[in-house]
Each structure stands twice: as C-alpha cells, then as structure tokens.
Amino acid sequence: MKALKIPEATIVRLSVYSRFLEQADKKGIITISSGEIAAGVGVSPAQVRKDLAYFGEFGTRGVGYNAKDLLKHTLKILGLNGKWTVVVVGAGNLGSALVSYRGFRERGFDITGVFDNDLTKIGKRLLDLEVMGTERLEQVINDNDVKIGILTVPASAAQDAANLLINAGVKAILNFAPTVLSVPEDVEVRDIDLSTRLEILTFHLCMREK
C-alpha cells in the first residue's frame, strides 16, 4: 500500500471504531451498519463510510458489515494485529502512571522498559518493571526490537532523550514534553501536550463570554 494522504482525524476515528467494534463483537453482534457504528461513536454515518473507504471495500450495500471482519480489518490497518514493545523514558509521576496504564496493554502495547537518569528513581519498582538508568536503553531496545518510545521527561531533557531513543533504533516517539523535538525524517513523532489540551478548553470558554 502506498502512503496515501490519509487525514490524521481518519486514523483517530479508525481507532475509535475498532474499539466500538470490539465491544459489539464481545456482545455477540454479527452484522453492524455504518449507522450503528456512527451512533455508537458520535459521528455521522457518511463519515464512517468515508473513513473506511480509504482502505478499500468493506461490507455489503444494504446489509452492513460483518462486525468481526471489520474489527480485524481496522486493527490490521492500525498495525494492531500483533504486539508492540514500547519503552518509557522518564519515571516521574506521569511516566509511572503510563507504565501501569491498562489502556495500552488492552490494545497490544507491551511496555518492556522504563528509564530515568535520576539516581533516586533508578531501581524503583513499577509493576513488574524496575526503573533502569538510560545507559541500558540501547540494549533493552535492541534485545526487544522496540520501535516506539514514550517521552515523559521535562522539556529541557526531551531532545537528549529523543536522541538516545533514535540512536538505539526507535522509529516512533510519543512526546509528552512541552517542547518541539527535531528528529530525522524517518522517525514519526506525535506530541501530547497536556496543558495545550486544557488551553483549547479555556480558549473556547473565553470566546463564549465575549
């Protein structure tokens, strides 16, 4: 498949659809319509059909989709038809919370290492992991074929941590540090800036009062 220009919002919704289909499948639902998916996730039926159309023909006109098949398809498109190993760099409050975040495991993400260079954090147990010094990052990444790193370090430490990940072979970074990382072209980065998300809300609250 060539890297078509698929809108990021479509990928986000695909993730939401696949979760909804997972629930439907668990409830024993065999056939599902775009209208039912749409109602379940809060978008229009046309949006569901348009999003799915990026990835080929699914379903039968007038009948709908086979829930299990469509679930499998969406998971495959998202790359979730297997396990992904992930490392977390930054074992502060947020990093520690992510290590035990059930939502990741449920979607096939397996956190295989958590790192920090703070001596007071190294050796601390988080679930079945022990916080390691960053000098062990490369070995863990190689041994476990890790392609994804999560950065939960302060902004000032983020670029150095990103470089460590990239040099060790990581190809995708989820960055929680409120800073812009520079990375080679073959590395994907997505930022989750938690404060920015709150600021979108305050922006709208203020707009309304005017």
Q: Six-digit token pair at 188?
A: 């994907």
Minimum gap (Å) between residue 184 Cβ and its own copies:
13
Catalog residues that contact its own copies under the rule CB under 8 A.
1-3, 8, 11-12, 14-16, 19, 40-42, 77-80, 84, 86, 93-94, 96-98, 100-101, 103-104, 106-107, 109, 147-148, 150, 171-174, 178, 180, 182, 186, 188, 190, 192-208, 210
Q: Six-digit token pair at 155?
A: 């902004």
**Phi and psi for 184 in degrees, rounded to 5?**
-65, 160
Residue number with CB closer to its own copies (61 or 208): 208
Minimum gap (Å) between residue 21 Cβ and its own copies:
13
Minimum gap (Å) between residue 53 Cβ and its own copies:
16
Minimum gap (Å) between residue 62 Cβ and its own copies:
26
Residue number with CB closer to its own copies (137 or 181): 181
Minimum gap (Å) between residue 78 Cβ and its own copies:
5
Residue number with CB closer to its own copies (15 or 31): 15
Residue number with CB closer to its own copies (27 or 208): 208
Residue number with CB closer to its own copies (135 or 198): 198
Rg (CA), the chain: 20
Angle between the 34-41 and 45-53 helix axes, to the nearest 10 degrees? 110
Q: Are strands 65-66 and 31-32 parallel, antiparallel or unpaired?
A: antiparallel
How far does Cα 100 stand from its chain's mean position?
Answer: 15
Range list of β-strands (E), the chain: 31-32, 65-66, 84-89, 109-116, 125-126, 129-130, 132-133, 148-151, 172-175, 188-191
Q: Six-digit token pair at 144?
A: 């476990």
